[in-house]
Amino acid sequence: MSLPGRLASRLPIKPLLLVMGAAASVYAAVLAVFADHSPLVTLQALGSLAGVQAIALCLLNYLLRGLRWRLWMAHYGRPLQITEALRFYLAGYTFTPTPGNVGEAARGLLLARNPLSATQSLAIFGAERLADLLSLLLLCLPVAWWLTGLAGPQRVLGLAGLAVLAAFTVFALLFRFRHKLLLRFAWLNEAWACLASRPLLWLGLSLIAWMAQGVAVWLLCREAGLSVSTLEATGFYALAMVGGALSLLPAGLGGMEAILTALLVAHGASAGLALGITVQVRLVTLWLAVAIGALALVYSAAIRKDINFR
């Protein structure tokens, strides 16, 4: 059996379905008990103009990050048409609810024609995560000063902000000592080669992509009646994403929601309102991608037959 086939046979389809089902059940239960509105009202809010605009911004995020993935695929001699590349990229979102999003590393391996090697696929995945981390850390900076001014129990959030700054420092140290690390880990060496290819382009795509989702969070906050600036909403979302990623839980589940809810409460929202906004944010920034990815995966495997599961 080929490497793509062996990997596909080990893709955690059943655990992913369990994770998604459990997450949906927990979201609904928590909203029913703690939120200001019922789960149905929370979902209906996404049908508003602000909700549709937020969804459009999230789709822009997927588009820009898909173009970034296409750039790195071309780096490995796999030039793809834009529509084809985006379809493959979106299909990878099916496996986002895995620890550290590592299931997304299968994107390049599952191609039926000319798949990547395991090292190359892992290298692109590593480059994606490093590019995302750098962008999110930069977007966290506008709320760092706000976090340090919190008092009492909210000081914990200030410490979370300092933790993000510490992560930024670690990122800088990794850059400083990259040569020693590159010699030790082959896939990291390949990831660095990806990052060294047109760095201004991938950094610009990454920043605009994550800023788009930050604006989506701001729109949902404004629609819910919470007064928050665009920079603050973007910073809150970025900080929550970094915190969720550090937990290494599937798609940061639990950690991201807890941090974003706490930040919104610290900003003045009621616990129920903050929870409702957080669930809306996760629906449009995570579960929408998973749903679109599942459709793209089924279409690619069953109809176009350019993704190999055998």
Task: Indicate the domain borders of the chain.
Answer: 3-304
Whole-angstrom distance, CA of residue 125 vs CA of residue 50:
32
The answer, yes or no, to whether residue 173 has pLDDT greater than 60, is: no
The answer, yes or no, to whether residue 16 has pLDDT greater than 90, is: no
Instruction: Say what percent of the chain tops pLDDT 70.
Output: 69
273 close to 225: Cβ distance less than 8 angstroms? yes
pLDDT of residue 310: 57
Phi-psi region of 228 (alpha: psi -120 to 50; beta: other; left: phi over 0): beta
User: Hey, which of 117-121, 251-255, 277-281 has the most confident mean pLDDT?
Assistant: 277-281
Under 8 Å CB-to-CB from 265, ≥6 apart: which residues?
271, 274
The answer, yes or no, to whether residue 159 has pLDDT greater than 60, is: no
Mean pLDDT over 168-196 rounds to 65
pLDDT of residue 188: 72
Range of lowest pLDDT (18-27, 114-123, 218-227, 234-243) = 18-27
